[in-house]
Structure 1
């Protein structure tokens, strides 16, 4: 394998220690362009913004792989999550209660919130789409 050579003007660098020597004799002009403090901060901010955008897109892509867009129509029968609590006073054991209860969509209150009513017409409240299937 051939050695790696870097040429600076008339000087050829073939080893990492040569950089040290070139800096000592001031033939290697590194860092001459000093930035103001505000410009350094702006450079850091833009770098942070780039990394945050990259992380956001990566996380969004991962999330979108496993999520399915859902929506329900007014009047459609659905099953809502049952939020029952255990209680000795009421002789209720939540782990034995049904997971879902049948309901009907009464109104759509946004992109993800639905107003539900039971099958007899009694209003149950507003529920997020994650608690409806």
Structure 2
């Protein structure tokens, strides 16, 4: 006898027919089936998100002396008549040296040091 809708789902998983009498599984077995289902779905969701992430992610290694474009971080300032949406988004600079795995020391094209920036703020 089925007591709720969850029993029908369990019967389908066990390939049991509705016409055949189904024995009620012990609570431990039901929880085990539920846990296996949750683990399988979590792994499936992980694989799907990993696929989309790997389409966009790319590893880039810059060399010293290479010219790149650095993102400018400009804020609007009413007192100085600056509107951020009209400012340049990127400026050209040169890689001085790598600092760590994803950080790079930069200088502008005139040789003035700009500081250390993350690779995500750089583009070729």
TM-score, normalised with respect to structure 1: 0.62
102-111 vs 49-58, greater mean Cα deviation: 49-58
Rounded Cα–Cα distance in structure 2 between residues aligned with 1:130 and 1:72: 12
Matched, 1:120 2:113: no
Q: Tell me the residue number matched to 1:66.
A: 56
Q: Tell me the residue number matched to 1:35.
A: 28
Q: 1:109 aligns with which of 99, 114, 117?
A: 99
Q: Deviations over 1:74-106 (max 9, x none)?
A: 121111011111112212121221111111112
Q: Deviations over 1:9-51 (max 9, x none)?
A: xxxx9x72x33xx3xxxxx5442x6639xxx57x72x654443
Q: Tell me the residue number matched to 1:86.
A: 76
Matched, 1:57 2:42: no
SS of aligned partner of 2:111: coil
RMSD (Å) for aligned C-alpha atoms:
3.1
Based on CA coordinates, which of the two structures has the bigger radius of gyration?
A: 1
Rounded Cα–Cα distance in structure 1 between residues aligned with 2:111 and 2:38: 53
The change in CA–CA distance for 1:59 and 1:79 in structure 2 (over 3 A counts) is same
Which structure would you say has the larger RCO, counting Cα contacts within 8 Å and 6 or more residues apart? Answer: 2
TM-score, normalised with respect to structure 2: 0.66
Aligned length: 108
The change in CA–CA distance for 1:65 and 1:123 in structure 2 (over 3 A counts) is same
Structure 2 unaligned segments of length 5 or more: list them.
1-15
Structure 1 unaligned segments of length 5 or more: list them.
1-12, 23-27
The alpha carbon displacement at 1:124 in A equals: 1.8
SS of aligned partner of 2:47: helix
